[in-house]
Amino acid sequence: MKTLGKEQQFERLYATPPVYEWELIVNPDHGRTKIAYASFGICIILAVVSFFWFQGNTGLIAAGMLIFLGSCGAPWGRFLIHADKRHYYAINQYGMYSTSEQIIPEIAYTIVRRSAWVGCAICVFAAIFIGPMAFVGAGGAALMSFTMTNFHSVPYKNQCLFDGYAKLLNFREEDYTLCSHNSMAGCKLIIPQEKLVPIIEVIKQYNDTFEEEFMDIYKDAKFQARPIILEIVR
The H or E element spanning position 63 is helix 56-76
Nearest to 121 by CA among 149, 84, 151, 91: 149
Q: Residue 185: what pLDDT?
A: 81
Q: Residue 114: what pLDDT?
A: 64
Q: Residue 77: what pLDDT?
A: 75
Strand blocks (E) in the chain: 20-27, 85-92, 95-102, 156-161, 165-172, 175-179, 187-190, 209-214, 228-232
Give the three-class secondary structure for 143.
Answer: helix
Q: How confident is the model at residue 111 (pLDDT cuts 50, 70, 90)?
A: low
Least confident of 29-33, 48-52, 198-202: 29-33
Give 80's contacts (C-beta < 8 A, 6+ positions apart): 102, 104, 108, 112, 151
Q: How confident is the model at residue 107 (pLDDT cuts 50, 70, 90)?
A: low
Alpha-carbon span 135 to 126, nearest angstrom? 9
More confident residue, 133 or 44: 44
Query: Looking at residues 100-125, what average pLDDT do you find?
Result: 68
Query: Looking at residues 213-226, what average pLDDT do you find?
Result: 74
Query: Looking at residues 175-189, what average pLDDT do you find?
Result: 90
* pLDDT tens, residue by residue, 155-168: 899 999 999 999 99
Q: Residue 11: what pLDDT?
A: 94
Its pTM surpasses 0.85: no
Average pLDDT, the chain: 81
Q: Residue 59: what pLDDT?
A: 77
* pLDDT tens, residue by residue, 68-86: 778 777 777 777 778 889 9
More confident residue, 145 or 76: 76
Q: Residue 222: what pLDDT?
A: 65
Share of the chain above pLDDT 70, in %: 75
CA–CA distances in Å: residue 225 to residues 34, 102, 141, 216, 218: 12, 16, 26, 15, 10
Q: How confident is the model at residue 150 (pLDDT cuts 50, 70, 90)?
A: low
Q: Residue 192: what pLDDT?
A: 96
Residue type (1 letter), 74: A
Query: Looking at residues 83-94, what average pLDDT do you find?
Result: 95
Alpha-carbon span 229 to 26, nearest angstrom? 4
